[in-house]
Structure formats: C-alpha cells, structure tokens
Amino acid sequence: MKKVIIIGAGLAGCYLAMLLQKNCQVTLVTKGARQDSNSMLAQGGIAAALDPGDSPAAHEQDTLKAGQYHNQALAVEQLVHVGPELVQQLIAMGMNFDRKPTGDLDFGLEGAHSHHRILHANGDQTGAALTTFVQRQLAYVTWLTNTAAIELYTNKGVCQGVLVRDIESGQQRILTADAIVLATGGLGNLYDFTTNNETITGDGLVLAARQKVALKDMAFVQFHPTVLALNNRCYGLITEAIRGSGAILVDEHQTPIMADTPQKDLAPRDVVARRLKLWQQNGHQLFLDITNVSDFTHRFAGVCANLDKHHVPFRKTHLIPIQPGAHFMMGGIQTDLSAQTSLSRLFAVGEVACNGVHGANRLASNSLLDCLVSAQKAAMAIMTLTNLPLANFKYSPTLFVTPKLPTLAVLQKKAWHYLGIERTRIELRTFLIWLKQYNFLQLQPSQLSQKELTIANLCYCAQLIAEAALAEPKSIGAHYLKEEITHESSHH
C-alpha cells in the first residue's frame, strides 16, 4: 500500500485524506488540534455555479476579473467546472448547506460576484461545518496532532521524508512516504492584524523554499477589509456576506466610505482595503453599518456570538468597529494542475499552493472550492504513482548556530508597515536591509525551539514577499505600489 503523509488538517488536507484513505496508508500531521485551521474559520461560504441561472463560464469570468487576469486560465477553468461536481458529491454524502423554505439551496452574494452562488452552512460558519463533515469521514487515517513538520528529506531528487517533532515532548523522528503533501495554509501571522488561526505561520512555504522548490506570486497577500477591531487588536473576521446582504462601510459621522467607487461596498477586496486604510490615516474610525441587513442575528449567528463575547453593543448602535487585516495568500508553492510541485513526489494543496487559480486577488469564497479541487487532482495523481523503495534517512544535525532573531511582535509590526496594503520600493528595500541583521537562513530548523522556528519561518516568508514585491514592477491586484514622490509628504 502506498504511504502518503499529509501535513495540515484544514479542508484541503482532510478532503485529500478522505479520497485516499481506502487505497493508501495515510498519515495526517497537524501542528495543533484537529480543529486548528483556517478552513474552520471560513465564514463566507463556498462558491459554486449550481444555480440554474448561473454558469461555470460566468464564475470563470468573475474569478479572472477579480484576479486582474493574472490567473492561470486553465486552473480557473478546472476550478469552475470540477468544483460544482465535488460540492454535489458532498451534498449526496449528507453535507447540509443552508436552504430556503422551498428546499432549494440558498445562494448568497459576495464582493465581485455577478451572481448569487455562495453556498452557506449554519449561516456564517460554513468552513467549520464543511471541514468537520469531511473530518468525520476519516475512518482509516493515522492522526499526528500537536506535531510540527520541521524539514523535508529528499533522496536522488525525490521527496521521501519529513522530520517531525512532537510539540509536547520535543521528540523528533523522520517519517517516510511515497508522496508528501503540504496543506499547511498561508502565512497570516506574519502580520499583527490577521483573520488567521494562530497556527498559520508560513511553515509549508518555508519547508519547500529550504529545498529550493519553486514558489510563485509571493507578492500577492490579500487583506480582508473587515476584521473586528477593538483597541488596536484584531478579534476575528466579519464576513463579506454581511455587505452582500446590505451592510455598508461608514465612518464615525455615518459618511458612506465606498459611495463613490464602482461596485461600492462590494468592490474587490484590495480596492476596499486601500480605501479604508486611507480613511483611517485621515484620522477616521471605521464601522460596518448593519441597519439595512434583515434578520442579522439569525443569519450571522457566528459573528453575533463573537461580537457579544467582546461586548460590542451592535444591537443598539447597528455599528461594528472594523479595519482591514491580513487574510489570504494568493501566491505560494508553484504547482501544476495536479498539485505536483517542482520537487518530485512533493504535492501542495489549498492556500499553501499556487496553481494560479486566484491570480493577483482571490475572488471571495473561491478558497474552499480550490481546497476541494486541488485535493481531488492531487488524489488522482498520487493514485497513479508507482511504489518506490523508501530511503532510510538518518537525522544528523550539523554544527549548532546560535539564532539571532527578532521578536514576533517586532516582525509583525514591521511586516504590517512595509509589506502591507500599500508598499513603496524604498520601504521594501528598507525592510530587506532590516531583515539582513538576522540569521534565519543559516539556522538548522531541527535545532530551534518551536517558538524560534516560527519566527525564523515568518522571517523567511517576509523576505520572499519583499523580494517578489520589488520584482513586480507595477501595481496589480493585492500588490499595490504607492508613488515614491507622495511618499515623502505622507511619511510620519
């Protein structure tokens, strides 16, 4: 039986495990508990052209347009055609999406979609419902929870092993397999304002980068316009579906912030995030006004629970304090349409991968769909692999290098300032010079504590983003370069 190791337990990793479990010996490695993933936090839903009036072609157009036509066209075509079939298979297996009183699926609308095509489960808790449903199907899988993947091992140019560490005991061992799949999510915790689960620290990207695996589109980090912001801290996502249901962005004077832009409050995320940042820089407070959203507490129960937990008096004021936060990585480990990376037998699925489907800006609710599609393609490719004799790797640490690293808080603040919603060439260069004082590239991952490894990995990710942003000569999608001339006057 083929051995497959999947690193990451979000929707992409678990769906792949579900597809392979009967034919392969599958081990799921996750740094936290089973429920620690961004998939569990996904509120919006999953986009699929299943409505009779909708079509994959229309979904494809919306995806390309949001991605500023920087997308890989074949990947988009694959997403919009294969995706609906996979969603229907899950429904047939018993996955419950929200329905209208008539029994028809209740499709929501989100930013930059031309059609109501977002499927929801439990209102705004789709990711948790879907990921939990898939995890419940995992009957023949070995779980390694609280286990970090530290380093990939290759033999004659083929990826066959991974060094893992039990986070509680600190014990390390090498696992070998016929195929290794990275499903580790993005790098949201490079920023202090993020919607991401705390386990999302760019690990998979760095595991690949240290083996010289090709990466792509690392300049494109999506900032979600609306995260709950209280006392300069971020407390989770406020789904875009609320704006799709009639909410608008306002300041403390109730001035509608998006009134004079095309598509208004449902403009692409980069456009909304930049406008909010400008408003904030001009000293304004930012709010989501939910006055016009009917049945708010019933439809957005998850958001309401979070608001109540943080004592936000939204029932009285109809206002939710928000600001943009780091949300999603469009770039990542370059893969083909079967999720194969540039390193033989190393696959990547979900947010850590870049098959080009999202282009320069991800269309809302396409990420859960991509988790399903990329995992299904990976499963098909892995099934066709021949069994190789597995190498016998020995773990042999080299000379110890004392780590010189910034604190996580300092790194996050710098990244927010220099690699954020808007960038300038001068600031990108300044940031790279600042990073040079640290030795994260010289360190042996296996010799670092978990905390040091996290910071080293995020430093590496930050360098990759800054270098890619400098190499991307013009503003496109989520990568926005401000003109240098205005830079001097706006710098404080």
Is residue 259 classed as helix, strand or coil in its secondary structure? coil
Query: Per the domain annotation, does 7 fall within a domain?
Result: yes
CATH number of the CATH domain containing 270: 3.90.700.10
Residues 96 and 170 in one domain: yes
Q: Which of 324, 354, 378 is the last residue of a domain?
A: 324
Q: Sign of dihedral through CA atoms 462, 215, 441, 174?
A: positive
Q: Does pLDDT of 256 surpass 60? A: yes
Region 376-394 average pLDDT: 94
Show the domain range for 419. 408-490
Query: Per the domain annotation, does 362 fall within a domain?
Result: yes
pLDDT digits (tens, 9 = 90+) for 288-301: 999 999 999 999 99
Any residues with CB less than 8 A from the CB of 312 and at least 6 apart, and which? 228, 230, 320, 321
Higher model confidence: residue 483 or residue 436? Answer: 436
Residue pair 34/143 in contact by the 8 Å Cβ criterion: yes
Q: How confident is the model at residue 485 (pLDDT cuts 50, 70, 90)?
A: low
Region 55-76 average pLDDT: 97
pLDDT digits (tens, 9 = 90+) for 4-44: 999 999 999 999 999 999 999 999 999 999 999 999 999 88
pLDDT digits (tens, 9 = 90+) for 416-466: 999 999 999 999 999 999 999 999 999 999 999 999 999 999 999 999 999
pLDDT at 350: 98
pLDDT at 483: 77
Q: Does pLDDT of 54 surpass 60? A: yes
Q: How confident is the model at residue 329 (pLDDT cuts 50, 70, 90)?
A: very high
Q: Which of 304, 324, 344 is the last residue of a domain?
A: 324
Q: Does pLDDT of 122 surpass 70? A: yes
pLDDT at 418: 97
pLDDT digits (tens, 9 = 90+) for 167-198: 999 999 999 999 999 999 999 999 999 999 99
**Average pLDDT value over all residues in the chain:** 95
Query: Per the domain annotation, does 454 fall within a domain?
Result: yes
pTM of the predicted model as reported, rounded to 2 decimal places: 0.95
Region 223-233 average pLDDT: 94
Q: Which of 343, 369, 394 is the last residue of a domain?
A: 394
CATH number of the CATH domain containing 216: 3.50.50.60
Q: Does pLDDT of 489 surpass 80? A: no
pLDDT digits (tens, 9 = 90+) for 392-430: 998 887 889 999 999 999 999 999 999 999 999 999 999
Query: Per the domain annotation, does 247 fall within a domain?
Result: yes
Residues 197 and 240 in one domain: no
Residues 183 and 229 in one domain: no
Q: Does pLDDT of 492 surpass 80? A: no
pLDDT at 488: 45
Residues 307 and 347 in one domain: no
Residues 342 and 210 in one domain: yes
List the helix and strand counts (H, then E) for the chain.
15, 18
Q: Does pLDDT of 487 surpass 50? A: no
Query: Per the domain annotation, does 301 fall within a domain?
Result: yes
Residues 16 and 57 in one domain: yes
Residues 390 and 443 in one domain: no
Q: Does pLDDT of 219 surpass 70? A: yes
User: 């023949």: which residue's tokens?
Assistant: 140
Residues 181 and 255 in one domain: no
Catalytic residue annotation? 269
Residues 282 and 199 in one domain: no
CATH number of the CATH domain containing 462: 1.20.58.100
Residues forming beta bridges with residue 323, ordered by sequence position: 227
Region 261-266 average pLDDT: 92
In 100-207, the DSSP E strands lie at 118-119, 141-144, 147-155, 158-166, 172-176, 179-182
pLDDT at 484: 66
Relative orientation angle of helices 11-20 and 367-383, to the nearest 10 degrees: 30
Any residues with CB less than 8 A from the CB of 102 and at least 6 apart, and which? none
Residues 138 and 193 in one domain: yes
Burial of 170 (0-12, 13-18, 19+ CB in 10 A): exposed
Query: Per the domain annotation, does 470 fall within a domain?
Result: yes
pLDDT digits (tens, 9 = 90+) for 93-115: 999 999 999 999 999 988 889 99
Q: In total, how many domains does the chain have?
A: 3
Residues 355 and 432 in one domain: no
Residues 149 and 4 in one domain: yes
pLDDT at 270: 87
Reading the block at residue 188, the tokens are 């949201």
Q: Can you spell out the DSSP letters for 453-484?
A: HHHHHHHHHHHHHHHHHHH--S-BTTB-BPPH
Region 462-491 average pLDDT: 83
Query: Per the domain annotation, does 377 fall within a domain?
Result: yes
Query: Per the domain annotation, does 8 fall within a domain?
Result: yes
